[in-house]
Amino acid sequence: MIGPLPGDIFRQGQVLNHTYEIEGVLGRGGTGEVYRARNQISGRVVAIKALNAQFSGNDDYIQLMRREEQMRDVLNDAVVRYTECSRTEAGHVFLVMDFIDGPSMSDVMQRRRMDPRELMIIAHRVAEGLVAAHARGIVHRDLSPDNVVLRDGAAEKATIIDFGIAKDTSTGAKTIVGNEFAGKYEYAAPEQLEGRAEKRSDLYALGATLLAAFRGQVPFGGSTPGEIVRRKQNRLDTEGVPEPLKGLVDWLAAPALADRAPSAEAVVARLNQTLKPVSARGGRAAPPTGGQERRSGRGRTLALLLVLVLGLVGGGAWYTGLVESWLHPIPVASPYKLAASFGPDGAQLTGNAPDAEAAQRLGLAFTAATGATAPKDALSMAQGVPNAQWVGNLADLLGLMQGLTEWSIVVTDGSVVFDGIATTRDQFDQKRAALQDWAKRTGMKLDIGMKVGPRALQGQAVLDALAPFARCGPLTPDKGALQVYELGETIVVTGAMDSVEARDALQAALDAMIGDRSVRLDVTILNPDLCTVRKVLPPVGAGDALIWFGDGATGEVNLSGIFHAGDNPVVELHVPGDLTGLSLWVLVVDNTNQVFSLLPNERQPEHDIQGLGTVVDGIRRVRVLSSLDDIKTGKGLYSITVDPTNFGKSEIIAILSKTSLFGTRLPATLSVGGLADELAGIIAKEPGNIVSIASRVIDARP
């Protein structure tokens, strides 16, 4: 049901951008609302997502909307189709997408338990949608029964919706939005709780969704942060689930990535076999009777004719050419073909020519285009050439191939299919215009499949392009130096940058070198102070160290790192309980050009890891920022609240070193530049001393 409600961003009857007439509200959250609307020009019913005014000016939320709009490149019936991202005159940013009329899996679950075969069909359909999304480098991150809609109520029309937009907590579903985690605890893969999401994370969520729909209830994810993390390490309880659904869920939702389904393509292949109907086997048909007799009869007639002709001509040389022509006539080719290609595997030419002169002309044009000599018997003499201009037209077409490092043409009568790779966008434009002009001039049908290369983009080339922009710590692509990005792939880059302008400059630099590939920059924009420190830190990972955020008022885990005015962030470092022999230093790099030393400090001089915190369930928990209640009762040393006059991003940095890093301890506060200089000197003097660096950003917002 839709209808106007107080406080709506848009009102019923309002027309957006002179096109979309609002018909009513479909849903709402703390960050925005979803509307049903009608395109006044085409009459098509659409769904519109709009951000509240306070978020429409927030770069992080705009980035989420921009990321979701990338889905318009995914053309698959199992994925909601996006049309555009726009902004109203009042400043509200909104997305336009297909309106999917039907219940969600969550709606169906509230009425009944879903049938196993029905769920297998849905799984096949959703996996097909994930194949299309993953091919563009897009991970849903929040797949759940809420986000799978059964168009017209049909399982075979299941459609994935809601790619990446911010949502608030709703009844029974804890949804957090941020750079580190986006998803519902109950359906999120274990790696998502650590701030990592990859394509196989969506497969885990699909498995959890299928199990929930079969049981008719949301899976219990845990009531405390520790319980949530522990439960994610165990397999989902599929006892009582019939095969083959049980095996599918176990495969999809394996906690360890190595045991999980490797790709959405693999899921589709498995379900193709599972759902394929058993077909009846028919016998082989007997050959028609009488055929052999008829063929034998024709053979005898031909033999008699040959004897007669040979008898008439005797052995006269004058008749030799006539007899040869009669015995070996030039065949008729239908259709008339030619195929030519050039690339890493060499140059090839095959097809038909009406005579030796035409074959020579086409061979010379092929050599000019490739530098390779056409084999003498590459083209077979054949009658049936479509028209007198056919040979000349194709010689001209081969001439247009010069300058391309890879191409192929396949000609069938008057139709040509061309594929090629241009080295630059300018070359692509020039060749495309020349080919279109050739088709117009000759009247031949031309299908152009040209792309901008290189065909294989080395990961090292991407790393080299990222290096000049890594002014806020490393920028990391999703493939290594020795791996390759194929045409059509999406290059995903993660890390941090110091400004939106720097991010846009990096986007432009990559666009100029990647050819027909796309780039997704999943980078966090940090203030210059944080980047000053990040630049000097050595490139070591966090290892087993993890920084945990919680809410001081409720004790609940905060996976997003987003805190609002008046919130009381609680911060702990988690390391294995048996870790010993290392020194721990915990710092806060603030957005006011200051660094605060949380540990060690005047009240807590200890910095040997084995003497800090408490060990619970094999995990050593070192609390460095406490709740206000703990401070009042003397259980904590430091506590902070988000200042309503000073919003922005700060960073918690925990450093584990082999020996004492800064001597006894750092001053309680020092400047960002002072810390950077101190760290640079220490790292230069003892380059292998730091063994682990864990960091997380606290994002303070209104």
248 pLDDT tier (thresholds 50, 70, 90): very high
Residue 291: inside a domain: no
Range among 567-571, 672-676, 694-698 rated most confident = 567-571
Pair 133, 222 in one domain: yes
Picking from 38, 68, 52, 69, the residue whose alpha carbon sits closest to that of residue 8 is 52
Give the CA-trace dihedral at 658, 662, 664, 665, to 10 degrees: -120
pLDDT over 80 (residue 508) = yes
- Determine the angle formed by the axes of helices 199-215 and 264-275, rounding to 10 degrees: 40
422 vs 3, which has greater pLDDT?
422
pLDDT over 70 (residue 253) = yes
Task: Give the phi and the psi of residue 288 in degrees, each rounded to 5.
Answer: -60, 145
Neighbours of 310 (CB within 10 A): 12
Q: How far is 665 from 599, CA to CA, in rounded Å?
A: 8
Picking from 484, 492, 497, 560, the residue whose alpha carbon sits closest to that of residue 139 is 492
Q: Given 67, 98, 129, which residue is the final one in a domain?
A: 98
pTM (two decimals) = 0.49
Pair 464, 442 in one domain: no
Q: So what's the pLDDT on residue 306?
A: 35
- The arithmetic mean of pLDDT across residues 432-443, rounded, is 96
Picking from 30, 51, 40, 35, the residue whose alpha carbon sits closest to that of residue 3 is 35
Give kind and range of the element (H or E) at residue 26: strand 20-28
Residue 318: inside a domain: no
- Determine the angle formed by the axes of helices 528-536 and 672-685, rounding to 10 degrees: 10
Which distant-in-sequence residues (6+ apart) come within 8 Å of 216 by Cβ?
Answer: 109, 112, 113, 114
What would the pLDDT profile of 287-342 be if each residue is shown by its tens digit?
333 333 333 344 443 333 333 333 333 333 333 333 333 334 578 888 999 999 99
pLDDT over 80 (residue 426) = yes
Pair 545, 687 in one domain: yes
Residue 310: inside a domain: no
Q: How far is 271 from 160, CA to CA, in rounded Å?
A: 18
Question: For the chain, what percent of residues have pLDDT higher than 90?
Answer: 51
Q: What tokens does 46 get?
A: 């659409």
Is residue 486 within 8 A of residue 455, CB to CB? The reply is yes
Q: What tokens does 177 get?
A: 């939005």
Task: Give the phi and the psi of residue 455 in degrees, each rounded to 5.
Answer: -65, -45
Residue 303: inside a domain: no
Strands 379-381, 518-525: pairing is: unpaired
DSSP letter string, 666-688: --SEEEHHHHHHHHHHHHHHSTT
Report DSSP state, residue 71: G
Q: So what's the pLDDT on residue 30?
A: 60
**Which residue type sits at 629?**
D
Pair 671, 629 in one domain: yes
- For residue 53, the SS3 value is helix
pLDDT over 70 (residue 558) = yes
504 vs 318, which has greater pLDDT?
504
Is residue 212 within 8 A of residue 109, CB to CB? The reply is yes
284 pLDDT tier (thresholds 50, 70, 90): very low
Taking only Cα atoms into account, the Rg of the chain, rounded to an integer number of angstroms, comes to 34
Pair 445, 511 in one domain: no
Q: How far is 531 from 473, CA to CA, in rounded Å?
A: 7
Picking from 537, 541, 535, 560, the residue whose alpha carbon sits closest to that of residue 550 is 560
Which distant-in-sequence residues (6+ apart) come within 8 Å of 159 by Cβ?
Answer: 77, 78, 79, 80, 100, 102, 125, 129, 148, 149, 150, 151
- For residue 169, the SS3 value is coil
Report DSSP state, residue 170: B
Domain with 617 in it: what CATH number?
A: 2.60.40
Domain with 466 in it: what CATH number?
A: 3.30.1340
Mean per-residue pLDDT over the chain, rounded:
83
- The arithmetic mean of pLDDT across residues 516-537, rounded, is 89
- Residue ranges making up the domain that contains 31: 15-98
Give kind and range of the element (H or E) at residue 696: strand 690-701
Strands 476-477, 490-497: pairing is: antiparallel
Pair 436, 517 in one domain: no
Residue 299: inside a domain: no
Residue 281: inside a domain: no
Alpha helices per DSSP H over 276-342: 291-313, 320-327
Pair 662, 643 in one domain: yes
Report DSSP state, residue 538: -
Angle among Cα 243, 248, 250 to the nearest 5 degrees reads 100
Is the Cα torsion angle 558, 564, 569, 572 positive or negative in sign?
positive
Pair 448, 498 in one domain: no
Q: So what's the pLDDT on residue 320?
A: 34
DSSP letter string, 246-257: HHHHHHHT-SSG
Picking from 128, 236, 140, the residue whose alpha carbon sits closest to that of residue 192 is 140
Pair 636, 678 in one domain: yes
- The arithmetic mean of pLDDT across residues 635-648, rounded, is 87
How many domains is the chain partitioned into structurally?
5
Domain with 207 in it: what CATH number?
A: 1.10.510.10
Pair 52, 28 in one domain: yes
Total residues found in the chain within this entry: 702
Report DSSP state, residue 566: T
Q: Which residues of 494-531 are buried (b: 16+ CB within 10 A; e: fewer)?
A: bbbbbeeebbeebbeebeeebbbbbbbbbbbbbbebbb
**Residue 133 C-beta-side C-alpha neighbours within 13 Å:** 33
Strands 82-87, 93-98: pairing is: antiparallel
What would the pLDDT profile of 9-45 be if each residue is shown by its tens digit?
888 899 998 899 999 888 776 667 889 999 998 888 9
602 pLDDT tier (thresholds 50, 70, 90): confident
Q: Given 272, 301, 327, which residue is the final one in a domain?
A: 272
282 Rama sector, left if φ>0, alpha if ψ -120 to 50, beta otherwise: beta
Which distant-in-sequence residues (6+ apart) come within 8 Å of 421 by Cβ?
Answer: 404, 405, 406, 407, 450, 451, 452, 453, 454, 455, 487, 515
Q: Given 452, 469, 499, which residue is the final one in a domain?
A: 452
Residue 598: inside a domain: yes
Domain with 86 in it: what CATH number?
A: 3.30.200.20
Q: So what's the pLDDT on residue 225?
A: 58
What would the pLDDT profile of 151-196 be if each residue is shown by its tens digit?
989 999 999 987 754 333 233 333 333 434 445 778 888 888 777 7
Q: So what's the pLDDT on residue 465?
A: 96
Neighbours of 230 (CB within 10 A): 13
What would the pLDDT profile of 212-236 be if each residue is shown by its tens digit?
999 988 776 555 556 666 778 889 9
* Sheet of 15-16, strands arranged across: 15-16, 20-28, 32-39, 45-51, 93-98, 82-87
56 pLDDT tier (thresholds 50, 70, 90): low
Pair 466, 439 in one domain: no
Residue 265: inside a domain: yes
Q: How far is 494 from 542, CA to CA, in rounded Å?
A: 16
243 pLDDT tier (thresholds 50, 70, 90): very high
DSSP letter string, 77-131: TTBPPEEEEEE-TTS-EEEEEE---S-BHHHHHHH-PPPHHHHHHHHHHHHHHHH
Q: How far is 643 from 319, CA to CA, in rounded Å?
A: 108
**Which residue type sits at 433?**
A
Q: How far is 324 from 301, CA to CA, in rounded Å?
A: 19
Which distant-in-sequence residues (6+ apart) come within 8 Å of 278 by Cβ?
Answer: none
Q: So what's the pLDDT on residue 329?
A: 56
Picking from 79, 78, 51, 77, the residue whose alpha carbon sits closest to that of residue 63 is 51
Pair 578, 633 in one domain: yes
